[in-house]
Amino acid sequence: MFMLKFIVRNMFRHKLRSILTVVGVAVAVLAFGLLRTLVGLWYSGAEHASATRLVTRNSISLIFPLPVSYLDRIRGVPGVTSVSYGNWFGGIYIDEKHFFANYAVQPASYLELYPEFRLSAKERNDFLMDRKGCIVGNKLAKTYGWKVGDIITLKGTIYPGNWEMVVRGIYRGAEKTTEERILLFHWDYLNETLKKTVARRADQVGFYMVGVKKPELAPDVALTIDGIFKNSLAETLTETEKAFHMSFVSMTEAIMVAIQIVSYMVIAIIMVVAANTMAMTARERTAEYATLKTLGFKAGHLGFLIFGESVAISLFGGVLGAVCTFPAALWIETQLAQYFPYFSVSRETITLEILAALLVGVVSGIFPTWRGATIKVAAGLRHIG
Amino acid sequence: MSERPDAIVSIRNLSKSYRRGNQVLPVLTGISFDIARGEFVALMGPSGSGKSTLLNLIAGIDSADSGSIKVAGVEITGLSENELARWRAHSVGFIFQFYNLIPVLTAFENVELPLLLTSLSRRERREHVEAVLSVVGLADRMDHYPSQLSGGQQQRVAIARAVVTDPEILVADEPTGDLDRASAEEILRLMDRLVHELGKTIIMVTHDPRAAEKAHLIRHLEKGELSES
């Protein structure tokens, strides 16, 4: 008890230095936590993908389309429960800064495959009945203040022109991780317009979404679909939704690896700073350690004092940083919603933050502890001057 | 040289040298002497004569090159670091020139420090600490931090810390060196009381002839050799 009191008093001996160290560790831990969360979110789309959904696309590249005529043949593959299709529309609302995902899809089958997009029966029906209708996610609607019945216009980039549509429903995600910043509208609206304007681009889809009875069937179904269209003009590549997401993620994997490295570097830097501070502290107290040894205290006692202080300061900073992670994540989620619609800190991240702080405390305490514990008494006393 | 029957400290052929680069600097060369129980001995000599080194060797915080040091019947030259730490905790009390109090601990807590290494209960420790702080006249200042005390008061706390475990001997390295005349007199009177009333043995290093006058015996160290006056 006495020794713990001693550690706490030592911690606040040089208040400014201790506060700066605690704040330094807290900021580093906060940065570490936010970067880890960012990396985790990058992969979360893949992690939350359904195991019973497959994506069929052109085997050359996603930018090459597939004929809509493949629909019935895919639907006929054993194990397939339902098939939908669509195109990445890439429309812009107001200007480029207002980015969100928008797809032209076959609405009935798409909503059947995505039960996590929750709509009221009326909204669902209104959407299905209106060829120029669209549905938007709740967060997206909140961002722009859209209400059911509003008319919005997207400016096409892949499909030029102004595309007017009516908001017929606002869906909510079944899970917290469900994407609520998507706009979906009728593929028929896109296709019929293309038939009139650029006929050669009509009757083509960017992807098929394929529902399978159970996850175990997915590999066989994928092989069968790709086998059907082998040696055709548009060969297919069918993969699980998770693999499909991962193919996007892998394009940016180098960036994610860099972010991960930066997150570790932040901890390494604060470790060096904290170690330097602790070494300086221990050097200043050389005479005190020698005095304690003179009184009969052993290396273990001094080790406990110095190591305890180092770990306590780092853990204090770590807990502060971990606590601050939540409001910081909330701020990011609200202020940068277009980039991070869902920025939730996981329990694993908080654990990692605390462990990182503990590691900082342990590593930064090693040298001063060794130095304090092995100090020669007579030499240490001379340190007084 | 035969050992005095009443000797509490018995030193024989003690030598100590320091190494500076390749050079060996002898500090003490074959010193032998005894200190009787209850004696107040002053060690004097010019700077670099080896007074503090001799004191450190007797107190077991430095190691000799050769020779023997027996304190209260214990040969301390052969003890390991841990054995020496244990021995110091109950056998030696230290009084330093600059008091060496821990600034983040109160006077009470500073005095309590050596007792933490004993098996005394918290209540017993409190009784001991209060008793010795009363002896040094600081019963009313026990909750003060060193920075809130004068130099003389800090040295009295240091003396209380030195005697709280009731050690065999007290070693004092320039105990009045950092004090004004009045405070120094006060400290010397207190040390005198420790010898006469509590029967303590004190070995004091000092440059101050007036401090040395309080001692029963003054020994001079010069060029590593000892003489008596």
> Is residue B96 within 8 angstroms of chain A, CB to CB?
yes
Inter-chain contact B116–A378, Cβ cutoff 8 Å?
no
**A64/A199 same-domain check:** yes
* Residue A243 counted as domain residue: no
How many angstroms separate the Cα of A289 from the Cα of each of A283, A297, B118, B187, B220?
A: 10, 9, 19, 25, 31
**A267/A218 same-domain check:** no
Rounded average pLDDT over B145-164: 94
Last residue of a domain, which of A200, A234, A268? A234
Q: Residues 6 or more apart from B182 whose CB is under 8 A from it? A: B152
Alpha carbons B217 and A381: distance in angstroms, whole number: 26
Inter-chain contact B85–A6, Cβ cutoff 8 Å?
no
Better pLDDT: A178 or B146: B146
Rounded average pLDDT over A93-119: 91
User: H or E segment at B131?
Assistant: helix B122-135
**Looking at the 3D structure of chain A, how many domains does it have?**
2
**A29/A99 same-domain check:** no
Q: What is the ipTM of this complex?
A: 0.89
Per-residue burial over B138-149, b if 16 or more Cβ lie within 10 Å, else e, is: beebbebbbeeb
User: H or E segment at A367?
Assistant: helix A347-373
**A308/A230 same-domain check:** no
Query: Residue B126: CA atoms inside 13 Å, Cβ hemisphere, count?
Result: 4
* Residue A326 counted as domain residue: yes
**A73/A179 same-domain check:** yes
The full DSSP string for A247-281 is HHHHHTHHHHHHHHHHHHHHHHHHHHHHHHHHHHH
Q: Which domain holds residue A121?
A: 60-234
Last residue of a domain, which of A206, A234, A262? A234
Nearest CB among B88, B100, B116 relative to A2 is that of B116
Summarize pLDDT for B9-56 with one digit per residue, the tens: 999 999 999 888 888 888 888 889 899 999 999 999 888 888 889 999
Question: Within a 10 A sphere around the Cβ of A246, how many other Cβ atoms?
Answer: 18
**A346/A288 same-domain check:** yes
pTM summary value: 0.72
Alpha carbons A42 and A246: distance in angstroms, whole number: 10
3-class SS of residue A19: helix
In angstroms, the separation between the Cα of residue B192 and the nearest Cα of chain A is: 22
- Taking contacts as CB-CB distances below 8 angstroms, the residues of chain A near B62 are 377-378
Share of chain A above pLDDT 70, in %: 97
Summarize pLDDT for A320-329 with one digit per residue, the tens: 999 999 999 9
> Is residue B25 within 8 angstroms of chain A, CB to CB?
no
**A77/A216 same-domain check:** yes
Inter-chain contact A293–B61, Cβ cutoff 8 Å?
yes
Inter-chain contact B100–A378, Cβ cutoff 8 Å?
no
> Is residue A340 within 8 angstroms of chain B, CB to CB?
no
Q: Among residues A284, A312, A244, A309, which one has the least CA distance to residue A384?
A: A284
Strand partners, B25: B18
Nearest CB among A2, A9, A296 relative to B89 is that of A296
- pLDDT for A385 equals 38
Alpha carbons A38 and B94: distance in angstroms, whole number: 59
* Residue A242 counted as domain residue: no
Inter-chain contact B109–A287, Cβ cutoff 8 Å?
no
Rounded average pLDDT over A203-220: 93
Summarize pLDDT for B80-91 with one digit per residue, the tens: 988 999 999 989
pLDDT at A97 over 90: no
Inter-chain contact B88–A291, Cβ cutoff 8 Å?
no
> Is residue B62 within 8 angstroms of chain A, CB to CB?
yes
* Residue A201 counted as domain residue: yes
Summarize pLDDT for B61-84 with one digit per residue, the tens: 998 999 999 998 899 998 998 899
**A92/A11 same-domain check:** no
* Residue A245 counted as domain residue: no
**A130/A164 same-domain check:** yes
Last residue of a domain, which of A234, A265, A280? A234
* Residue A55 counted as domain residue: no
**A312/A372 same-domain check:** yes
* Residue A133 counted as domain residue: yes
Domains of chain B: 38-63+87-228 (3.40.50.300)
Rounded average pLDDT over A338-350: 81
**A271/A321 same-domain check:** yes
Inter-chain contact A288–B102, Cβ cutoff 8 Å?
yes
**A18/A141 same-domain check:** no
* Residue A248 counted as domain residue: no
